[in-house]
Amino acid sequence: MEWIIGFLILGGLSVLFDTSKSGQTELRREHAATPQSPPPAPSSPPAESLVRKVEPVVRGATVEASGSSSNRGSRSDNRSVEDWDEWLGENWGKAETWESPEFLQARSLLNAKGVTAFWHMTHRDNVRNILDQGILSHSEARKAHKIVDISDASVQQRRTAAEPIFGRCLHDYAPLYVNPRNPMLFRLQDLNNSLCLLEISLDVLRDTGSRDLIYTDGNAASGATNFFSGMEGFDNLPWDVLMAEYWNDKEDGKRKRCAEVLIHPKVAKRHISAIHCYSRQLAQELGGIYGNVRFNPSTFFGG
């Protein structure tokens, strides 16, 4: 009799176990069949965050529009440097451009010293190529086309040396002067009728990478000259000499008056604000190929 009772108990437990297992299976099936609600969509960002500020940067053989560090050094498409220069020249005022506090401070300091532009000195025969390609470095200009060289050959030999900050040859930079009325222009006054002074916007500082900009407190070919990088050091320039009427009565004035801003590897043509000429005839000729040409003999010596 006892074994019959045990058999009945075991049978009952088996039935209960099967029922529980079946119920759990049905619950799982119902759960799987029930459509799940999609996760809530992320909230839309404010409209202001959808506008990405673009800082044009010139680097060697490419010009990149760099909105973030992830695309620095890469070309957005297959446009040439000249195509990018043309596009940026046409669209420069149509996009918001980021101006760093360092640039704003440097521009404010330069303006306070009376500097509203930098300057590049060249022969009239070089102007067409410059308007087409920008102001190339000495090295690149010689590779790209035949140039009329107005520089002092002995000084140019010393510019084959490397500058002390980034180790590049000085010839790998496009040279600009802080003050165009300097010993170089004075030496060339016999060529006044063929000379052009290109006025360069201070925005070139904003649009040049930190490793592509250096400047000096005198002629870059001189062993006594100090070099600076970044935009915080313009106060170190010899402003007493640079802004004086003449340099002869200043200590080391001839060297200091030729303080330079050096841009690697070129100054884009969009930064050329105006062309200044000693000769009225030359101004009229160049006026046919460039919109802002000024007859300005007073900036030259002998004018």
CB-hemisphere CA count at 13 Å for 126? 25
Could you give the CA distance from residue 269 to residue 149 in angstroms, rounded to a whole number? 20
Residue 242 and residue 110 in contact, taking contact as beta carbons nearer than 8 Å: no
The response to whether 211 counts as a known ligand-binding position is no
C-beta neighbour count of 156 within 10 angstroms: 14
Residue 208 and residue 263 in contact, taking contact as beta carbons nearer than 8 Å: yes
Strands 55-59 and 213-216: unpaired
Contacts of the segment 184-192: beta carbons below 8 A, 24+ positions apart: 184/121, 184/152, 184/258, 185/121, 185/300, 185/301, 186/301, 187/152, 188/121, 188/150, 189/300, 189/301, 189/302, 191/123, 191/150, 192/278, 192/279, 192/297, 192/300, 192/301, 192/302, 192/303
Report the phi/psi class of residue 112: left, alpha or beta, with left for phi > 0 and alpha for psi in -120 to 50: alpha
Task: Name the catalytic one among 159, 181, 206, 255.
Answer: 159
79 catalytic per annotation: no
Place of tokens 């016999």: 190
Residue 114 and residue 239 in contact, taking contact as beta carbons nearer than 8 Å: no
- Residue 158's closest CA among 61, 255, 231? 255
Q: What is the DSSP letter of 54?
A: B
Could you give the CA distance from residue 256 to residue 201 in angstroms, rounded to a whole number? 22
245 catalytic per annotation: no
Task: Name the catalytic one among 64, 257, 260, 270.
Answer: 260
The response to whether 122 counts as a known ligand-binding position is yes
Could you give the CA distance from residue 228 to residue 32 in angstroms, rounded to a whole number? 69
The response to whether 159 counts as a known ligand-binding position is yes
Binding site members for NAD(+): 120-122, 159
Annotated binding site: 120-122, 159
Catalytic residues: 159, 260
